[in-house]
Amino acid sequence: MKKFTSLFCASIISFSTVLTFAGNKCEVIIPGRDLSKIPFVMTKGLVDGEDYLSKTIIFRVKPNYRQNCKVNSVDNILPVQDFLNAIGAQNLAKIYPHHEMPAQERNALGQKLVDLSLIYSFKYTADIQLVKAINQMKSLGYFEYVEPWYVPKIHLNPNDPQWSSQYHLVGTGVVGTGSINCPNAWNITTGSTSVIIGITDTGTELNHPDLAANLYHNTGDGPAVNGVDDDGDTYIDNYDGWDVGMNDRDVTWQGDSHGVYTSGDACAVTNNSVGVASPGFNCKFFMTKIADAGGILIAAYNGITYAADHGAKIISNSWGGGGGGSYGQNIIDYAVINKNCVVFASAGNGGADQLVYPSSYNNVYRVSWTTSGDAKSGSSDYGNDVDWAAPGSNILSTSSGGGYGPVSGTSMSCPVSAGAAGLVQSQFNYTNAFQIGEKLKQTCDPLPASSQYVAGKLGKGRIDVYSALTVAAKSLMANPITITDGNDDVFMPNENLSISALYTNYLDPSSSSASAALTVVSGPGTVTVGSPYSIGSLATLGTNSQSAPFTVNIQSGALPNAVIQFKLTITDGTFTGSQYFSVTVNEDYINITINDVFTSITSKGRIGYNNDGQANGLGFEYQLPSPENLLYEMSLMIGTSSTKVSDMFRGGATGDTDFGSLARVYQVTPATVSDFDADGKFNDAPAPSAIPVEVHHSAYAWVASPYRKFIIVKYVIKNTSASTLNNMYAGLLADWDIPNATPQDKAAYDAVNKIGYVWNPNITGPYAAFKLLTSAGATHYVVDNIAGGGGGIDPTAGTPAFDTQEKYTVLSTNRAADGFTATGGDVMDCMSTGPLSVNAGDSVIVAFAIIAGDNLADIQNTACYAQQKWDNTGPCATGVSEVTADNFWMEAYPNPASSTVNINYNIVGSGNASLKLVNSLGEVVMAFDNLPMGRNMLPVDVSKLSAGNYFCQFKTGEAVLTKQFSVVK
């Protein structure tokens, strides 16, 4: 800028009547001459295309047009508006929107104060040279100056002592060197301190000499620890960040120093004569600690949310696992869509083509690991969903205790990429965060085939940050992609699927030849219509919603749960982008998502997930106040002895697979019982020692309050043997994790309401519970899922572990509560009913409500509503009109009773209510007429009745409720 200023001053001497100089600066005053209209000339030899931003203009409005100057516009000046429209101006805005005109023209020394409030910039899209655009704008006469956005250069290799050992930064990005080409990139930008990179990890080291200066601080809360939420973000004293794992302000690492390394990988202070360098250079990072005191990542997705809410444009996540689910995808979508962040995640270190989350979620950039020779590390995961690779072998970075050391893994590749992304955002200031990731992705250096290279499964290659800053690039993506069959969206053999997409152009404008082609990579599908599809010309951030969708036929021989994998290839000239997606067809499970509990009902006795390892299904998600998956595993269990238990729960190294589908579960339409009815059938023929039984199963869910917090599952269990089944128990067993695999749960039993419930005593809600709805005896057993069993059965011992004998114990005996301390542990909870006696060819009905709630009272209240629904929809109800919790319900307790049974009921807007007690022979043993309206309790003395089963028949108008209870002596 000094050279330019001097040349500019010299070039206008002939037009000046007064020139005053102060040191090496000049103020030019030219009476009667409007210097703003002097044509701009790009001086050869001094600047070139790398010295200024392409198609970007800075201008300052003359003070006499101040009233026209808004933050994002210059209003009511028609020639200016016409020019900006004609040139395709985008993102016009004040550079300093929070500055105001100085109150005085000059300071005490007579020097003119600078007014930043009238300075604007914008980018334009028209195909016009920058010099010509500037001169056209200058000629309008409304601006003090119109200039390029110059980019001063620096030329350096950092002076960090261990810089030469950082192969991934040193060098020029030549393939085979492992370098991401940082020195050339730093000659363009060393990063902006306004670009914040969020690191979610085990914590960092606040006073590390190579981290402290680049640590972002929440100045709104200030460095002083005053116990006050100064900035109103609901976090107290979160100046350095926040520990969501321990819910405190201290983000210092605990248990595992992993986060110290990843902090330095992205943002170690560079060119400070200390330690190491990092690609992010001047970019700031802030740590969101997601681990507990032992370094276990107990709040990983909470960390993404915190980072997104607190200003991180780029979020780096060097962690993952095999468990997916809707909750994690919800959090990713929140960060990307709601908060406009770009999210990176490590691909995983398993050396396999496998899904790892969060990196395999939609809207996440998945990063694999390459070596110093640009080969894929043998330990790096890979796959069609990988976006790119980055160096990860022996990455020298910051370590605990103020030290340095080399570490390997995709945990390094991810923050190295995040640091590079910081430079990209510093240079381009993209409005949409996806543009950051796409510019880094589309400018990668392609990797050659080698023994370590997995063709097509390392994304676009190895990142080159210099190329990202200098090379023009296109990026067309389809997101979302919509698949439908035009009716029930249950994809069955011989059906046609319509596949449509919203295409978005993130980088340079596309041409009219841009198109998309759909192919089937594997699975029982055939593309019949629509490929290729013309996308056409799209401006940057322009979209095209596909109006002529692809049609895919599901082949007739599709097996249950078959997966069709598709490849969508988008081309535009030299640009080629590939996206892979898949759809499961002929599914033997169904998702229920109509109320506040989301879950999956399978065709073979499992609930929540169709397969082992939390695969194919929603788990059991409680949606309030935000989605929480409370389930690891759940299955129906039926047993008649210690040698005969049929189930799909874990047993030994893998889950038991004792049930097989006879009729695939499906949604009953129209629903006849609830708002969502599901129905199917299975038996235990696959069991090594079948009972044998056949199970007709149903599930029910309701939309309206107060029935939104549960689903009902009903099992009609038929004895298919030639003899009576005695001592049979049927129940649901679940490994609850509240929330999300935190092994800190407690379990207990509410005998009055026949509820087995689980909660985490270390947090406020949620609770999960089973409620037995049918009238046979209730059994509840809590398993301490630890070695030794904590006083109950030991599910970890023996060969196989958790065998048939232990499962029958869980089904048929009582253990009301866990054996853990007040802080809890890992529990499994079983709610069952029995003993049942079922004659050959006969059936018995067993039903449960699966409940989620905010606390114990909420669970108990919901259990009452679930019982109402069961009584109204199950086999005991006759002639029932529409019944709701507000006009007609009844509950009997205690049950069983020995002296008094209390009948709670509610009647609104109806008369002539009566109650009859009927014995098992159908004889009326007591009767009560003209019961009062409203919510009441009727105590009934049953001390003189014989032991046995009785029925309460409660009638008002034409509606009847029947409730069974037992009298014991």
Residue pair 142/61 in contact by the 8 Å Cβ criterion: yes
Pairing of strands 388-391, 660-668: unpaired
Q: What span, in angstroms and rounded, lies between the C-alpha atoms of 227 and 230?
A: 9
Q: What span, in angstroms and rounded, lies between the C-alpha atoms of 369 and 265?
A: 14
How far does Cα 718 stand from its chain's mean position?
A: 42
Q: What are the backbone angles phi and psi of residue 809, rounded to the nearest 5°?
A: -60, -45
Q: What span, in angstroms and rounded, lies between the C-alpha atoms of 903 and 937?
A: 5
| 735 a catalytic residue | no
Q: What span, in angstroms and rounded, lies between the C-alpha atoms of 207 and 213?
A: 9
| 201 a catalytic residue | yes
Q: What span, in angstroms and rounded, lies between the C-alpha atoms of 364 and 317?
A: 10
The string of DSSP letters for 681-726 reads EEESTTSTT---EEEEEEEEE--STTSTTEEEEEEEEEE-SSS-EE
Q: What span, in angstroms and rounded, lies between the C-alpha atoms of 560 and 585?
A: 7
The residues pairing with 677 across neighbouring beta strands, listed in sequence order, are 668, 700
Q: What span, in angstroms and rounded, lies between the C-alpha atoms of 769 and 46?
A: 74
Q: What span, in angstroms and rounded, lies between the C-alpha atoms of 758 and 784?
A: 12
Q: What are the backbone angles phi and psi of residue 929, rounded to the nearest 5°?
A: -110, 165
Q: Where does residue 288 fall: left (phi above 0), alpha (psi -120 to 50 degrees), or beta otherwise?
A: beta
Q: What span, in angstroms and rounded, lies between the C-alpha atoms of 153 and 286?
A: 28
Residue pair 827/759 in contact by the 8 Å Cβ criterion: no
DSSP at 295? S
Q: Express the helix, strand and coil content of the chain in percent, nearest 5 each.
A: 15, 35, 50
Q: What span, in angstroms and rounded, lies between the C-alpha atoms of 693 and 685?
A: 8
| 411 a catalytic residue | yes
Residue pair 122/91 in contact by the 8 Å Cβ criterion: yes
Q: Among positive and negative, which fits the CA dihedral 333, 338, 344, 345?
A: negative
DSSP at 608? S
DSSP at 968? -
Residue pair 658/684 in contact by the 8 Å Cβ criterion: yes
The residues pairing with 644 across neighbouring beta strands, listed in sequence order, are 641
- Reduced to 3 states (helix: H, G, I; strand: E, B; else coil), residue 795 is coil
How far does Cα 358 stand from its chain's mean position?
A: 8
Q: Choose, from 160, 179, 192, 201, the residue flagged as catalytic.
A: 201
- Reduced to 3 states (helix: H, G, I; strand: E, B; else coil), residue 827 is strand
Q: What span, in angstroms and rounded, lies between the C-alpha atoms of 506 and 424?
A: 14
The residues pairing with 606 across neighbouring beta strands, listed in sequence order, are 635
Q: What are the backbone angles phi and psi of residue 451, rounded to the nearest 5°?
A: -65, -25
Pairing of strands 314-317, 196-201: parallel
Q: Choose, from 208, 258, 697, 780, the residue flagged as catalytic.
A: 258
Q: What are the backbone angles phi and psi of residue 630, rounded to the nearest 5°?
A: -100, 0
Residue pair 525/559 in contact by the 8 Å Cβ criterion: no
- Reduced to 3 states (helix: H, G, I; strand: E, B; else coil), residue 593 is coil
Residue pair 137/76 in contact by the 8 Å Cβ criterion: no
Q: What span, in angstroms and rounded, lies between the C-alpha atoms of 603 and 697?
A: 9
The HSE-up count of residue 51 (CA atoms within 13 Å, CB side) is: 13
Q: Among positive and negative, which fits the CA dihedral 373, 378, 384, 386?
A: negative
Residue pair 433/313 in contact by the 8 Å Cβ criterion: yes
Task: Give the active site residues.
Answer: 201, 258, 411
